[in-house]
Amino acid sequence: MTPDLFDALEDDALPATQPLAPGAVLLRRFARPRDEVLLAGVAQVIAQAPLRHLVTPGGFRMSVAMSNCGGLGWVSDRSGYRYDAKDPESGRPWPAMPAAFLDLAATAAQAGGFEGFAPDACLINRYEPGTRLSLHQDRDEGHYDWPIVSVSMGLPAVFLFGGGRRSDKAQRIPLAHGDVVVWGGPSRLHYHGVLPVKEGVHPLTGPCRINLTFRKAG
Ligand code: MD3
Ligand code: FE
């Protein structure tokens, strides 16, 4: 496995927060002290709402496998993208958000300058090696005054962070296990994506990357 640039540094040598753009802050390794609790939460959620490959409105099967927890879950099918209170696979409400998820999301948002963040949706994305997420905007939430908080776990990935237009040049940001990003303010509607994940095995997740995105969707 190839260690990323930051693995060469001691954790306490990492800057606590790195501004990426107006409103966007990278909190390197922020979730590490809680990684096992967070992954136990993921296991608990996906036991009730299994990861699945959604179909885009255009009819393509997404390579990233997804599930949700919280009051609302993001879903896609031939009719479009939306938030739904129920898992369409089971017809049941999505599993509750584990307390450790809510706590992490609120603490990270606070560190990024957003006091009082109480997400009602957590999307769980699982990337196997070779899997990518093409450039897109997140605009199914209806209001954009709250940030999105993302947590990377397991295999590293290169994140593409573009601008307000699809054609704007994208920065490449390596994200490693435990990295948290708070995407608020003007960055909230920027285009973004994930390059194909490289082969590897992580001690806690095995051969995959898990990303959590916390949102206020309702
Ligand atoms: C920047 N997920 O689920 S998280 C997504 O790694 C998604 O699974 C990626 O994009 C992943 O929609 C990236 C980081 C992220 C999430 C939302 C953003 C970055 C963002 C919204 C605006 C700008
Ligand atoms: Fe996104």
Per-domain boundaries in the chain:
16-215
As given in the structure block, the two tokens for residue 158 are 């290169």
Query: Tell me, what DSSP letter sits at residue 193?
Result: E
As given in the structure block, the two tokens for residue 159 are 């994140």
- The rounded distance, in Å, linking the Cα atoms of 209 and 17 is 22
pLDDT tens digit sequence for 77-104 = 999 999 999 999 999 999 999 999 999 9
- The rounded distance, in Å, linking the Cα atoms of 85 and 129 is 30
- Per the DSSP assignment, residues forming a β-bridge with 55 are 61
**If you average pLDDT over every residue of the chain, what do you get?**
94
Ligand 1 pocket (Cβ < 6 Å) reads: 123, 125, 133, 138, 148, 150, 181, 183, 187-188, 190, 192, 194, 211, 213
CB 27 within 8 A of CB 17: yes
Tell me the whole-structure pTM to 2 decimals: 0.94
Distance (angstroms) between ligand 2 centre and the Cα of 139 equals 9
CB 181 within 8 A of CB 192: no
pLDDT at 68: 99
pLDDT band of residue 16 (cuts 50, 70, 90) is confident
Distance (angstroms) between ligand 1 centre and the Cα of 85 equals 21
Helix (H, G, I), strand (E, B) or coil at 75: strand
pLDDT band of residue 13 (cuts 50, 70, 90) is low
What protein residues have CB closer than 5 angstroms to ion ligand 2?
138
Helix (H, G, I), strand (E, B) or coil at 218: coil
Pocket-testing residue among 125, 172, 187, ligand 1, by greatest number of atoms within 8 A of Cβ: 125
As given in the structure block, the two tokens for residue 193 are 């994506």
pLDDT tens digit sequence for 155-209 = 999 999 999 999 999 999 999 999 999 999 999 999 999 999 999 999 999 999 9
- The phi, psi pair for 21, rounded to 5°, reads -170, 165
pLDDT at 24: 96
Architecture (CATH level 2) of domain 16-215: Sandwich (2.60)
H or E stretch covering 100: helix 99-111
Distance (angstroms) between ligand 2 centre and the Cα of 193 equals 7
List, in sequence order, every beta strand (DSSP E) within the chain. Answer: 18-21, 24-27, 65-69, 73-77, 80-84, 121-127, 133-136, 148-154, 157-161, 171-175, 180-183, 192-194, 209-215
pLDDT tens digit sequence for 57-68 = 999 999 999 999
- Alpha helix (H) ranges present in 17-65? 35-48
Radius of gyration of the chain (CA): 16
pLDDT at 1: 44
Protein residue with its CA nearest to atom 12 in ligand 1: 138
Distance (angstroms) between ligand 1 centre and the Cα of 21 equals 15
- Is residue 3 pLDDT above 80, yes or no? no
Q: Give the closest residue to 69 by CA, choosing from 175, 47, 104, 144.
A: 47
